[in-house]
């Protein structure tokens, strides 16, 4: 089916109390697995490519074009999203390639500078009919534990959404990036207050650190888009490790990458059912 607009996937979930899975692509096997997992349960999905991954591949185009091709060939709605871009040039490249949405992250800047930089991106992307996500507060984790002091304030969130005209807001509510355990403690009351205050969909980053039960509670409290990366990478790497430990003479990478791809597809399908309330 045709490449889906991100809003076409996110809006129905936002109107209810279900979630949308947005899974990070590191290499083509990830993208194949995510699409296969979504197709197996008949649910829409978002493929995400981060600025770090674009840097790993040398540019956005190789993995971006592969993801777009897989999205266009899928039997379920699939959108392709640029995740955590701090570079305006990378945002422009994503738009030119045909990405359906971008997440521009100026959250490390002071509030006024975050607003100004994000508004420029929103104005540019909206002219190209590209959906924009931004972050307010700081979802830490890669450089240490998430601190309550940088959680998103509902009143500030209202002002930020109004001033930037973003289409979705990533909020800091207790999750952290790159967590290897699923024991993050979310502030469900804050999620509910943000949902009541802000008109656009809320996005939960660092969802790899959140267990199934709390993901369901987060959806019920008001989260819509749920980003998962590290959890799938753990699944992928563990599968490869087990295969190579059991068969140390394996030379053909398809023998272990194919197994890892299948394991990720299975986990994507399971998580999508959790987010859909199934």
How far CA 179 is from CA of 37, 55, 200, in Å, comes to 22, 22, 27
- Which run of H or of E encompasses 78? strand 78-85
Residue in 83, 153, 187, 214 annotated catalytic: 83
The H or E element that residue 85 is part of is strand 78-85
Query: Which 8-state DSSP code applies to residue 141?
Result: B
214 included as an active-site residue:
no
Q: For 152, which DSSP code?
A: P
Q: Give the separation between CA 1 and CA 149, rounded to whole angstroms.
A: 44
Residue 228 forms beta bridges with which residues? 23
CA distances in angstroms from 128 to 53, 94, 99, 101, 123, listed in the order given: 24, 11, 10, 10, 9
Q: Residue 159 contacts by C-beta under 8 Å, 6 or more apart in sequence?
A: none
* Rounded Cα–Cα distance for residues 35 and 255 (Å): 20
Q: Cite the active site residues.
A: 83
């Amino acid at each position: 089916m045709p490449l889906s607009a991100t809003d076409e996937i996110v809006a129905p979930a936002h109107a209810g109390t279900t979630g949308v899975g947005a899974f990070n692509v590191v290499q083509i096997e990830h993208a194949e697995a995510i699409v296969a997992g979504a197709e197996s349960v008949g649910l829409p999905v978002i493929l995400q490519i981060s600025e770090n991954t674009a840097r790993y591949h040398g540019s956005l185009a190789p993995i971006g074009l592969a993801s777009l091709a897989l999205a266009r060939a899928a039997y379920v709605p699939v959108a392709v999203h640029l995740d955590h871009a701090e570079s305006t040039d990378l945002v422009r490249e994503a738009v030119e390639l045909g990405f359906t949405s971008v997440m521009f992250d100026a959250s490390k800047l002071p509030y006024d500078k975050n607003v100004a930089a994000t508004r420029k991106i929103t104005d540019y992307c909206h002219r190209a009919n590209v959906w924009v996500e931004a972050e307010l507060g700081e979802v830490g984790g890669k450089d240490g534990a998430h601190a309550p002091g940088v959680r998103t304030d509902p009143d500030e969130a209202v002002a930020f959404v109004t001033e930037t005209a973003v289409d979705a807001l990533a909020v800091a509510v207790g999750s952290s990036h790159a967590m290897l355990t699923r024991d993050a403690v979310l502030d469900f009351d804050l999620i509910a207050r943000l949902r009541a205050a802000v008109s656009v969909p809320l996005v939960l980053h660092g969802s790899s650190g959140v267990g199934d039960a709390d993901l369901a509670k987060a959806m019920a409290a008001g989260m819509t888009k749920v980003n998962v990366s590290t959890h799938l990478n753990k699944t992928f790497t563990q599968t490869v490790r087990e295969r190579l430990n059991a068969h140390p003479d394996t030379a053909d990478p398809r023998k272990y990458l194919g197994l890892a791809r299948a394991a990720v597809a299975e986990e994507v399908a399971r998580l999508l059912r959790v987010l859909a309330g199934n």
